[in-house]
Amino acid sequence: MPLKSRKANFNDAGVALRRETTNLSDAEITLKNKKADSGDTGVALSREKAESKPKSIFMLKRLRAAACFLTFLSALFGAFFVGGGAFYPPRCGGVRASGGSAYIAIERDSARVLYGSNIDARLPMASTTKIMTALVAIEKNDIKKRVKIPKAAVGIEGSSIYLRENEEMTVEDLLYGLMLTSGNDSAAALAIVTAGSVEDFAAMMNKRAKEIGAKNTNFTNPHGLHDARHYTSAYDLALITAHALKNPVFQTIVSAEKYTISDAGGGAGARYLSNKNKMLKMYCGADGVKTGFTKNSGRCLVASAKRGDMRVITVVLNHADMWNDSMSLLDRSFDNYKIVKIAGAEQTVDAPVAGGARGFAAAAPEDKYYPVKADERLSYEILPEKLKAPVKKGAVAGKIKISIDNHLIFEEKLYTIDSVKEKSALDRLKDLFD
């Protein structure tokens, strides 16, 4: 689903206005169009020897006006189609930071890496930071609680929902302002009402990141404005997002296309929010999650989509064509992987019990699914425990290991699904004659 560039760049087109002769009594005014990069032949319009001084002055004014108008159009279209939040043009030299880039696609529940490059590199992540901000705020607050906006959250630079000091709204309202329109003031407000300060909230974010397993991540703020000590990796950010998407409140918020914050008083009026994440409309099955951009981070996007029983999360950091790159990753993932049930309660393993009236049957405690390619082979290894009767139901009976092409993907304990009684004297006697 390629996007079309409508960016107008008159400098790149090679248009130049030149006035060759300034002698008003014998004016020669030439408008020259230099050859464009595509090889078009320049067009020269010339008018030689103006008949009168007043007419020459008039023509000069018209040329200057034309030059100003072209400059205005260049700035207007450049701002609207590149910096103004409209469709970002694919593959046409978009904004890209000078640092490294990375991408990854994972399946949410297994966290299996489906595709990736540079996945552990520490990079700035701009407003995709707010995924962790939202997760911590949801876990630490009653989202229906009404809070007063602190002064320190007003006037934060960058994207904003224009909060006013002491106006009241719910934590839920702030979460929608955070994730739909990427309000940096919403991020600061959530941090302060949750932890008392931005610094203490950042400590909460870092603690939660470590619990999730993010090893190449450090947060210094809740909004993602640049700080050299504020970074993550594509893998860590995908892992954080996978955990966040298991929270139903978070999932509802990031999948919403619009939200209205009712009039909170103080003259602000109602706020009508629209989700900046165009993936919700551009890609079938998309349901989140967050965009990001600073000059240091470049274009960043975390996306999520679900088809059937499979949910894929993609992260692109410093990708100028972030929309198409994300859609391509999602397509490849859904085309080449399928969810397969690799273990479950109905898949039992039988083994003997020393001194038992019978053997035992064991199974994994819950169903386990995993994304598998068509040409990948699953192999199973059962390691039973040497049990001695009597055995209670639910006792650890061994271990199952599952591999794909000799690479271990899953390991789980097996548990007995029934109790096993000790053999009776009669059973032992029968054994002597068998």
List active site positions. 127, 130, 182
User: Exposure pattern of 276-315 as b/e (b: 16+ CB <10 Å)?
Assistant: bbbbbebbeebbbbbbbbbebbbbbbbbbbeeeebbbbbb
Any residues with CB less than 8 A from the CB of 328 and at least 6 apart, and which?
none
Distance of CA 249 to the CA centre of its chain: 17
User: Exposure pattern of 328-337 as b/e (b: 16+ CB <10 Å)?
Assistant: bbbeebbeeb
Give the separation between CA 217 and CA 226, rounded to whole angstroms. Answer: 14
Q: How many CA atoms lie within 13 A of 55 on its CB side?
A: 11
Q: Give the burial class of 378: count Cβ atoms within 10 A of its Cβ; 0-12 exposed, 13-18 middle, 19 or more buried.
A: middle
Dump the DSSP string for 306-340.
Answer: EETTEEEEEEEES-TTHHHHHHHHHHHHHHHEEEE
As given in the structure block, the two tokens for residue 345 are 């309660």
Give how far Cα 202 sits from Cα of 139, 148, 149, 156, 431, Å: 14, 20, 19, 16, 68
In the block, tokens 């934060």 appear at 156
Give how far Cα 430 sits from Cα of 337, 357, 414, Å: 54, 11, 31
